[in-house]
Structures are given as structure tokens and as C-alpha cells.
Amino acid sequence: MVEGDAPVDVERINWDRQIDFCADIFQACRMPRPKALEQSKVPVASDARGIPSQGIPRLTPCVAGLKT
């Protein structure tokens, strides 16, 4: 069925892009931190639970699932 093939191909392309994106983030996590990333930390007094924090790297929400 020709009509059904196009959406599947589009989904596969999008999925491949997401996998590539995750792989890039994973590589970035394994590399030593560049100074630019260190400077991008946002100083905060405490997080939502009231635990003091030195700063939150902006990459943290993206990589939280990769550390398991």
C-alpha cells in the first residue's frame, strides 16, 4: 500500500534524528566539560526540595535518563 508507506518513512526519519540527537548528548556527557559549559551553570540557593546547590548544568534534564 503506497499511501501507508510515506508516514512510516517520515516516522523512521524523525526517530533516527532523535537517536542521533541522544547519541550526541551522550557523547557530550562522556567528554570532559568545556569551560563554556561550566560557565553556563545557573547559581541557585536551593532546589525545589530545599537542598542547597552550587548550580545546575543546563544539560541535566536531557541526560538524567542516560545515567541509569
Q: What is the pLDDT of residue 53?
A: 52
Stated pTM of the model: 0.26
Q: What is the pLDDT along the chain (68 residues), one digit of tens a residue?
A: 455 455 556 677 777 777 777 777 777 666 665 555 555 555 545 555 655 555 544 455 555 555 54
Domain coordinates in residue numbering, the chain: 2-67
Contact criterion met (CB below 8 Å) for 11 and 51: no
SS3 content of the chain, % helix, strand, coil (to 5): 60, 5, 30
